Amino acid sequence: MIDVTVEVPDAATMRRLGAEVIAPALRPGDLVILTGDLGAGKTTFTQGLGSALGIRGEVASPTFIIARTHPSLGDGPDLVHVDAYRLSSLAELDDLDLDTSLEDAVTVVEWGDDAQSLSEDRLHLTILRERGGEIDMDDPSGGVRSVRITSHGERWNAVTLASL
């Protein structure tokens, strides 16, 4: 079982968390759920993950299209990137028919608390952002994040994550 918390000081490190810590542990069929406030770094994390998986296309927040599939450019799995922020119920999540791609792709669901029902085996990242203090206008989304990584299900029992 994985239950670890890491401090992430900036966007570059958030991308490295996705690319160097999480991506090497993933395989087709894995579900990654991301929770955190607006601007916490969910899409930034997914950019790093997508880069390491070698997918086609730039990873951007899929808020308005809800789900975007990034095909693999190599032998790795596709990346299905979902933003469940605008979904109002589990039924709407089911309507996306994600279970048809779950076996062959790595699926990342932002705002994914309701996505837990998609798989008993999943990785959950909860991203907490510092509050208060002055906002750096050159980097308004900057600031230290605390990322708690927890695993659920048997698939993750023997998995060890790399260090950041």
Task: Write out pLDDT tens, residues 2-52.
Answer: 999 999 999 999 999 999 999 999 999 999 999 998 889 999 999 999 999
Instruction: Write out the H or E segment, with its range, that includes residue 88.
Output: none
pTM: 0.85
Say yes or no: domain 3-156 is CATH 3.40.50.300: yes
| Cα–Cα distance, 151 to 149 (Å, whole number) | 7
| Cα–Cα distance, 114 to 117 (Å, whole number) | 7
Q: Where are the domains of the chain?
A: 3-156
Q: Alpha-carbon dihedral of residues 108, 114, 117, 121, nearest 10 degrees?
A: 40
| Cα–Cα distance, 115 to 122 (Å, whole number) | 10
Summarised one tens digit per residue, pLDDT across range 66-120 is: 677 888 899 889 998 887 765 555 455 455 555 456 688 999 988 777 667 678 9
pLDDT value, residue 33:
94
Check residues 132 and 6 and name the one with the higher pLDDT: 6
Best CA proximity match to 83, nearest among 36, 153, 120:
36
Give percent helix, percent strand, percent coil of the chain, each to the nearest 5. Answer: 30, 30, 45
User: Is residue 29 exposed (0-12), middle (13-18) or buried (19+ Cβ within 10 Å)?
Assistant: middle
pLDDT value, residue 124:
96
